[in-house]
A and B are shown apart, each in its own frame.
Chain A
Amino acid sequence: AQKITQTQPGMFVQEKEAVTLDCTYDTSDPSYGLFWYKQPSSGEMIFLIYQGSYDQQNATEGRYSLNFQKARKSANLVISASQLGDSAMYFCAMREPGAGNKLTFGGGTRVLVKP
């Protein structure tokens, strides 16, 4: 079974609008971490935001926020005020205890920002 599912393979968003990228996960551990990374065409994975399973509040980092719904096992990324430079692949990833630093990634969502 997939541990991390990103159901949107690709999407367009108008510049300056907000976009929500979906991520659902599957784990039986009560303690886990969820990450979002951005991968531009250059290939480097850029860390965006982190949410711990015990964090009381949804994480925010600048224009990025995470809509964390623990009971539904979803961790959607919201990008506000999209910019042309936001065009990239976005990956959701999970880290579970007992697995060291191993990240399990979803299949990614390609975002294209239109001017």
Chain B
Amino acid sequence: KAGVTQTPRYLIKTRGQQVTLSCSPISGHRSVSWYQQTPGQGLQFLFEYFSETQRNKGNFPGRFSGRQFSNSRSEMNVSTLELGDSALYLCASSLTTYRDTQYFGPGTRLTVL
């Protein structure tokens, strides 16, 4: 069974631009969560989608948004990029809900110049 895939793996953008990251969950998984990892703040939860609905949201500004498609694939978008958005963005998928283990993808490393 293929694992969680994320594209692109690396991305370089400049301040003010926007970016879209993609995540394909493990086949059959319906929940997708996104996390931001930085050296200063560690791993922080962004949001979770389940059956195309945002079920939970972390404490991030509205510039961070996401969506989930009917095939459970998810995208997250960051608008008006800031230098502080440079981070590793990790996507995780699980079967359904809170009792299931989350499996992570390899991450997208975003650098904002």
A contacts, CB < 8 Å to B: 33, 35, 37, 42-47, 50, 52, 91, 93, 95, 97, 99-108
Interface range, B side? 20 to 34
Contact partners of B90 in chain A: CB under 8 A: 43, 45
Q: How far is the CA of A97 from the CA of B56 in the complex (A)?
A: 12
B92 contacts A45, C-beta separation under 8 Å: yes
Contact partners of A37 in chain B: CB under 8 A: 104
Interface stretch among B16-24, B43-51, B66-74?
B43-51
The interface residues of chain B, by DSSP majority, are classed as: strand
B contacts, CB < 8 Å to A: 31, 33, 35, 42-43, 45, 48, 50, 55-56, 58, 88, 90, 92, 94, 97-107, 109
Residue of B nearest to A49 (CB): B101
A-B contact list, 5 entries, CB within 8 Å: A35-B102, A44-B104, A44-B106, A45-B90, A103-B33
B45 contacts A104, C-beta separation under 8 Å: yes
B103 contacts A47, C-beta separation under 8 Å: yes
B42 contacts A107, C-beta separation under 8 Å: yes
Q: Shortest beta-carbon distance, A106 to chain B, in Å?
A: 8
B98 contacts A95, C-beta separation under 8 Å: yes
Given A43-B88, A91-B43, A95-B98, A101 and B107 touching (CB < 8 A)? no
A103 contacts B55, C-beta separation under 8 Å: no
Q: Shortest beta-carbon distance, B46 to chain A, in Å?
A: 10
Task: A35-B102, A97-B98, A101-B92 given; name 6 further pairs at CB < 8 Å.
Answer: A44-B105, A52-B99, A102-B33, A102-B48, A103-B33, A103-B92
Select the residue from B43, B56, B103 with max chain A CB neighbours within 10 A.
Answer: B43
